[in-house]
Structure 1
Amino acid sequence: MSGPRQPAAPPRDGVTDLVRWAAFSCFLVPVVLLWCGTSLAGAAGTALGLAAVTGACRVLLRRSERLAARPPGADPGPRPGRRHRAGPPAGRGAHRGGRHTAENTPVD
C-alpha cells in the first residue's frame, strides 16, 4: 500500500523568486550598513536605490517573458503614440556635428 498522494507542486516562476530575493536584499543591505556604522540617510538612500533597480529589473524581466511567449512570426506592428522623425534619412552627407577636418582654416 502506498500513502496518500500529494498534489503536484505548481511550477516555480523564476522571475518571482528573483524579485523576492531582491526585495529581501533591499531590506538586508541597509540593515547591514546601519550595523557597520553608516548614517541613516545613507542606508535609506541605498534602500531606495536598490528598490528602484529591483522594480526596473522586474518590469524588464516580465516584458522579456511576454516577448518570448509570442509566436515566432508575430509582428506587433507600430506602437501607438510613437512618431517617426520627418525628413531625409541621415546618410553619408549628413553633418552630425563634431569636428570637420575637411575645412583647414588657420586659427589665430
Structure 2
Amino acid sequence: MRPLPPAPRPRPGEDRTTDLIRWAAFSCVLVPVVLLGYGASLAGAAGTALGLAAVTAVCRVLLRRSERCAARLLADEPAPGAHHRGRHQRAGTGPRRGGRHSGGNSPVG
C-alpha cells in the first residue's frame, strides 16, 4: 500500500486571508446572537448582521485585490542582480546634482 501524497499547502498569504475571512464570517453570526441574548430587538440584530456581512464582503474583495496586485508586482520585479537607477536617482557630483541651487548661500536676486 502506497502512502497518500501530502495535501497541497496554500500559499502563506492565502492562508492568513482565508482565516481572517472565516473569523469575520463567524463574528457576523456571533454578534447578532449575543445582541439577542442581551435583549436587543430581532430587527436590530438582523440589521447588525447585514451590516457586518456587507463590511466583511467589501473587506474580502479588497484583500483579494491587494493580494493580486502584490503578486503582479512581485512577478514584474527585475532579477535580483539587475541594477536600475530611476530618473531622480543619479549618482555622482556633477553640476546638475541637487536641483535648482546655483551655488553658495547667496540670495538669488
For the aligned pair, the TM-score class normalised by the smaller chain equals 0.5 to 0.7
Does residue 10 in structure 1 map to residue 8 in structure 2? yes
- The structure with the greater share of residues assigned to helix is 2
How many residues get paired?
72
Q: Map residues 15-30 of structure 1 onto 2, 5 A cutoff.
A: 15-30=17-32
Q: Percent identity?
A: 73
Kindly state the Cα deviation for residue 28 of structure 1 after the two structures are TM-superposed.
0.6
Query: Aligned with 1:16: secondary structure?
Result: helix
Aligned to 2:89: none
Kindly state the Cα deviation for residue 11 of structure 1 after the two structures are TM-superposed.
2.3
Kindly state the Cα deviation for residue 38 of structure 1 after the two structures are TM-superposed.
0.5
Letter matched to residue 22 of structure 1: A
- Deviating above 6 A after TM superposition, structure 1's stretches of 4 or more consecutive aligned residues are none
Give 5+ residue unaligned stretches, structure 2. 78-109
- So what's the TM-score if we normalise by structure 1? 0.58
Q: CA RMSD in A?
A: 2.1
Aligned to 1:50: 52
In 2, Cα distance between the equivalents of 1:46 and 1:61? 22
Aligned to 1:72: 76
In 1, Cα distance between the equivalents of 2:33 and 2:56? 17
Give 5+ residue unaligned stretches, structure 1. 74-108
- So what's the TM-score if we normalise by structure 2? 0.57
